[in-house]
Every structure is written in structure tokens, then in C-alpha cells.
Amino acid sequence: MPAPRTVLLTGAAGGLGTLMRELLPAHGYELRLLDLLPVEGEPDAITADLADKKALREAVRGVDAIIHLAGISLEASFEKILRANIEGTYNLYEAAREEGVPRVVFASSNHAVGFAPRPRGRDPLIPIDTPHRPDTFYGLSKSFGEDLAQLYWDKHGLETVSVRIGSCFPEPTSVRMLSLWMSPADGARLLHAALTAEHVGHTVVYGSSANTRLWWDLSTARALGYEPQDDSEPYAAKLIAEQGELDPANVAHAHLGGHFVSDPPIWPY
Ligand SMILES: NC(=O)c1ccc[n+]([C@@H]2O[C@H](COP(=O)([O-])OP(=O)(O)OC[C@H]3O[C@@H](n4cnc5c(N)ncnc54)[C@H](O)[C@@H]3O)[C@@H](O)[C@H]2O)c1
């Protein structure tokens, strides 16, 4: 596959979309933007709902790849998750198949496997083939997205890298995030690797920086050519002083998904 240049970025108005809009052009991409909401400062961005099949078909036409970030990014009612994340992702894959787009990079989540116990002490890192254990309907939609990606690879030869993103924010803001943090610069490096690695079929990777307190195995991400440059450790002393160490007796602290396993934040719309 020739290196992709024109990439459709769905969810471009969101937090991660905004960070990646700033960082990905330096890796050589021209971005076509799509979101349900207008994208600030981007009058050419496509304003469309993932439910709009015609708009999706037009949006994907002629692009070399898609980075699919759009959707509900917190817990919500099953009906809302079904429409935006499950049917919406299906609609996008169908549009990609119909228009012959060869590759999707799918924003999966740690919450697809949120009930995996977090490693402690000398426990091994969580492997990439740990079974799906979604912690919410939101996590369930990410498990679905990974399976959909596998189906479209096996049946239609449409490649996907599913990235189980930890927490991609400018700085880690919790003790849990010290293990899952992906700096925005590393996020862009990982997306670039996922767009350019050859013969990915359907590959699932964890998405984080090379954190000292890492909980999961980054080897499938590194195999794509991803070389993380950042580590959350410089933030550790302050966050632990403010919040204390994780308490293994607390169910939210005992699992990868954190408070999504017990009291997930709810999508506000
Ligand atoms: N930010 C993280 O650390 C993180 C961690 C794990 C997974 N993810 C995943 O990455 C993606 C982006 O995350 P984010 O933090 O930027 O979320 P976000 O909520 O800030 O952005 C999501 C964007 O999707 C758009 N959207 C929602 N429903 C849509 C629809 N039906 N049609 C078109 N657009 C729609 C929203 O308008 C929003 O701009 C999400 O899929 C999220 O689940 C993010």
C-alpha cells in the first residue's frame, strides 16, 4: 500500500480530534475533517452525523485512509451508544468498503477490556489478546468495533488498526492515568505508524506512552514501528501526593477501566 496522504478524520471537533488536527499534518497528512458539530476555525469541515450514509459515502470518497474518532466517548444509554457508536461505525465501514478505502484506524478504548484486573507488583503486563471484558455499554461498542474491523478484514480485505487508547490528554490528571497516559505527540506517532505500517490486516494495539508504570503490553504497537518518546513519570510525585496510591480494595482501582467499572461518567447530550 502506498503511504496514505489524504486522511478523513472523524470526530475532528472532539478533544482528541483537536489535538490530532494540530499534530498530524507535520507527519505529512492532508486531513479531511468530519464531525456532528462544526469544527472551530475549519470552515471546510464536513458537518455530518454518522447516521447519514450518503454524507459518509461522500466524505470517504477518494481518501487514502480514515482515522475514526467520532462517537460517544463516555457511558450513555444503550440506545444512544447503539446509534452513534455501533450503527455509526458500521455505516462508516460500509461507506469505506463501497468506496474502496483500504485502511481505517479505529479509536478503540481500554474500556473494551476494562474489567481486566490491573497488574500489581510483578504481575505480567496485560496482553493484547486478553478477552474482551467491556466495563460499560461504551466499552461494549468498542469491542463491537474491533470485531467489525476483523470481519471487514476477513471478508472484504479492508485493513484496520484498532487502537485501545488509554488517556490522551496534554498531561495525566490522575494516578491511574500515570499508567495509561498517551501524550498527544505519542498519539500522533502511533496514528502515523498505524497509517503507514505494511500488511496490518486487523491489528489490535494498546495506545499509550512508554510509561514507567505501564500496565499493558505495547509490543503490537511497537511492531507497527511506533516508538513512544514520552513517560508520565515526571508527573507521578505530585499526583500521588495529591490523590494517594491506588487502593486495591477499591473496585475502580483494581481494574483497568478505573471508575468506568463502578461509576462511569455519563455523556452529557
Ligand atoms: N481521549 C481519550 O483519551 C480516549 C481514550 C479512549 C478512547 N477514546 C476514543 O477516541 C475517540 C475520540 O475521543 P475524544 O476524547 O476526542 O472524545 P470527544 O467526545 O471529545 O469527541 C468525540 C467527537 O465525536 C463527535 N460525534 C459524536 N457522535 C457523533 C455522530 N453520531 N456523528 C458524528 N460525530 C459524532 C462529537 O461531536 C465529538 O466531537 C472516541 O471514539 C473515544 O471513544 C479516547
User: CB of 204 within 8 A of CB of 162?
Assistant: yes
- Residue 262 to residue 254: CA distance in whole angstroms: 11
The ligand 1 atom at the shortest distance from the C-alpha of residue 73 is 43
pLDDT value for 3:
73
206 catalytic? Reply is no
Integer angstrom CA distances of residue 9 from 45, 57, 114, 240 = 10, 14, 26, 36
> What per-residue confidence (pLDDT) applies to 2?
64
Place of cell 485502511: 103
Instruction: Say how many residues make up the chain.
Output: 269
Closest to 177 (Cα-Cα) out of 205, 141, 209: 209
Is residue 112 assigned to a domain? yes
Which DSSP category does 173 fall into? Answer: -
Single-letter amino acid, residue 80: K
Q: Is residue 48 part of a domain?
A: yes
What CATH number should be reported for the domain holding residue 109?
A: 3.40.50.720
31 is a domain residue: yes
Residue 94 lies in a domain: yes
Phi and psi torsions of 136, nearest 5°: -160, 170
Output the nine-digit C-alpha cell for 255: 481494574
103: domain range? 6-261
Judge if the beta carbon of residue 37 lies within 6 A of ligand 1: yes
Residues 45-90 have pLDDT tens digits of 999 999 999 999 999 999 999 999 999 999 999 999 999 999 999 9
**Sequence-ordered alpha helix ranges (H) in the chain:** 15-23, 53-60, 78-81, 88-99, 137-156, 177-180, 184-196, 219-223, 236-243, 251-254
Tell me the C-alpha distance between 64 and 31, whole Å: 10
Per-residue pLDDT of the chain (269 residues; tens, 9 = 90+): 567 799 999 999 999 999 999 999 999 999 999 999 999 999 999 999 999 999 999 999 999 999 999 999 999 999 999 999 999 999 999 999 999 999 999 999 999 999 999 999 899 999 999 999 999 999 999 999 999 999 999 999 999 999 999 999 999 999 999 999 999 999 999 999 999 999 999 999 999 999 999 999 999 999 999 999 999 999 999 999 999 999 999 999 999 999 999 999 999 88
Q: Indicate whether residue 14 lines ligand 1 (CB < 6 A).
A: yes
Q: Report CA dihedral (96, 48, 146, 208) to the nearest 10 degrees.
A: 110
Q: How far apart are CA 209 and CA 65, in angstroms?
A: 24
Q: Which of 217, 256, 268 is nearest to 111 (CA)?
A: 256
**Is residue 269 assigned to a domain?**
no
**Cα three-residue angle 130-134-140, rounded to 5 degrees:** 120
Q: Is residue 210 part of a domain?
A: yes
Ligand 1 center to 103 CA (angstroms): 19
Q: Where are the beta strands (DSSP E) in 70-201?
A: 103-109, 159-165
Which atom of ligand 1 is found nearest the CA of 49?
Answer: 32
As for how many domains the chain has, the answer is: 1
Q: In this structure, is residue 268 part of a structural domain? A: no
Quote the ligand 1 centre to 252 CA distance (angstroms).
Answer: 23
Model confidence, pTM: 0.98
Q: Which of 29, 138, 152, 235 is catalytic?
A: 138
Q: Residue 9: CB within 6 Å of ligand 1?
A: no
AA identity, residue 38: P
Residue 169 CA, closest ligand 1 atom number: 3
Classify residue 1: in a domain, yes or no.
no
Give the closest residue to 181 by CA, choosing from 203, 205, 206, 146.
Answer: 206
Do residues 182 and 208 touch, judged by C-beta distance below 8 A? yes
